[in-house]
C-alpha cells in the first residue's frame, strides 16, 4: 500500500503536465468508463410507470365532476402532474450532452424549480356539497396542502367555479366550510387573499367557516385583515353553527316572502283605488 501511494503521488506530480497532450476524446472515454456503472437505464421505465397514473397534462387545469351517491355532490379540482420526475431528468441529460455538464445541470435545476413553483401554485382542491347530521346543507372545501400566495387565486377560482357548477341547486346561499386539516402554513399575502375571498362570499350573502385550523395559522389569518373570520374546532361545534346559519337563512327567506306579499297587496290595493276613482 505504501508503494502504491508513492507511485500515485509521483504520477500526479510528474505526469500531470503531460495530460495536456492527451486527446480530449481519450480523457472523455476514461471518464465514461469510470462512471458507466452508475448509469441506471431501468430507472427511466420505473419513473415513467410511477408517474403514468397521474393526469398526463401539465398545461390545463381541469374541473372534474365525480358522481356521488345520496345528497352529496363531489367536485375534484385536479392539476395534471404528468411525468414530473422524468421530464427534468431527460432535460438535464440532453442539456448536458448539448451544452456541457455545468450548463446542463443548471438547466435541469431551473426546470425542476419551475415544476415545483407550478405545483405549489396549483394545489389539489376537493369541493363537496354535503349535509350535516343536523340536516344543514353546506359546501366543504378541502385544500391538499398549505396555502401560499401563488395558490390563492387558483383556490379562489376553483371554489367559485365549483359553487356555481351544477345548475339551479347551487344557487342557494349555502355556507362554505374550509377544511384546513392539511394547511400547516399560510404566509401573509395568502392570508390577505383569504380575507378577500371571505369578503366576496359575505357580499353575496354566504358565510365562510374555517374548520380544524392550526393555532399558528389562526394567528396569521386573524392578524392579516379586518374581515371577521369564523373558526370552528370540532365537528360538534360545526354542526351547531351550521344549524344556526340554516335557521337564520330560513327566517330571512320567510321575511323576504312576507315583504313580497305585502308589496303585492299594496299594488293590488292601489290598482283597485284607481278603478274606483275612474268610475266616479
Q: What pLDDT does 268 receive? A: 44
Distances from the Cα of 177 to the Cα of 127, 138, 140, 212, 260, angstroms:
10, 7, 5, 10, 31
Q: What is the pLDDT of residue 172?
A: 58
Domains, in order of start, for the chain:
60-81+123-257 (3.30.750.24)
pLDDT for position 227: 78
Residue numbers in the chain where pLDDT is lower than 70: 1, 50-83, 161-172, 249-280
Q: pTM above 0.85?
A: no
Q: Which helix (H) or strand (E) holds 258?
A: helix 235-279
Nearest C-alpha neighbor of 82 from the set 90, 71, 93, 74: 90
Give the integer Cα–Cα distance in Å for 270 and 125. 54
Q: Under the phi-then-psi rule, with left for phi > 0, alpha for psi from -120 to 50, and beta for the rest, what region is 100?
A: left
Which residues have a Cβ under 8 Å from the Cβ of 137 and sit 6 or more positions away? 71, 129, 130, 131, 172, 174, 246
Q: What is the DSSP letter of 170?
A: G
Predicted local distance difference test score (pLDDT) of residue 266: 47
Q: How far apart are CA 180 and CA 194, in angstroms?
A: 12
pLDDT in tens, 182-232: 888 888 888 888 888 888 888 877 788 889 888 888 888 888 877 788 888
What does the pLDDT read at residue 105? 93
Amino acid at each position: 500500500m505504501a508503494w502504491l501511494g508513492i507511485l500515485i503521488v509521483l504520477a500526479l506530480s510528474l505526469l500531470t503536465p503531460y495530460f495536456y497532450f492527451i486527446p480530449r476524446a481519450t480523457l472523455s472515454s476514461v471518464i465514461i468508463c469510470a462512471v458507466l456503472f452508475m448509469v441506471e437505464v431501468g430507472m427511466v421505465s420505473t419513473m415513467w410507470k410511477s408517474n403514468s397514473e397521474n393526469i398526463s397534462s401539465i398545461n390545463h387545469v381541469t374541473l372534474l365532476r365525480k358522481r356521488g351517491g345520496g345528497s352529496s355532490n363531489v367536485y375534484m379540482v385536479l392539476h395534471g402532474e404528468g411525468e414530473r420526475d422524468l421530464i427534468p431528468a431527460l432535460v438535464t441529460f440532453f442539456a448536458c450532452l448539448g451544452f456541457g455538464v455545468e450548463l446542463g445541470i443548471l438547466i435541469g435545476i431551473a426546470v425542476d424549480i419551475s415544476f415545483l413553483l407550478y405545483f405549489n401554485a396549483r394545489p389539489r382542491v376537493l369541493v363537496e356539497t354535503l349535509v350535516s347530521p343536523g340536516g344543514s346543507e353546506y359546501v366543504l372545501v378541502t385544500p391538499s396542502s398549505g396555502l401560499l400566495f401563488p395558490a390563492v387565486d387558483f383556490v379562489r377560482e376553483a371554489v367559485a367555479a365549483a359553487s356555481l357548477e351544477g345548475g339551479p341547486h347551487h344557487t342557494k346561499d349555502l355556507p362554505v366550510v374550509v377544511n384546513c386539516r392539511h394547511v400547516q402554513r399560510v404566509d401573509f399575502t395568502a392570508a390577505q387573499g383569504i380575507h378577500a375571498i371571505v369578503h366576496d362570499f359575505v357580499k353575496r350573502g354566504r358565510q365562510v367557516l374555517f374548520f380544524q385550523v392550526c393555532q399558528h395559522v389562526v394567528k396569521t389569518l386573524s392578524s392579516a385583515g379586518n374581515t371577521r373570520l369564523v373558526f370552528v374546532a370540532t365537528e360538534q361545534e360545526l354542526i351547531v353553527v351550521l344549524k344556526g346559519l340554516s335557521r337564520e337563512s330560513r327566517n330571512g327567506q320567510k321575511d323576504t316572502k312576507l315583504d313580497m306579499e305585502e308589496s303585492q297587496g299594496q299594488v293590488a290595493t292601489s290598482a283597485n283605488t284607481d278603478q274606483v276613482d275612474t268610475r266616479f
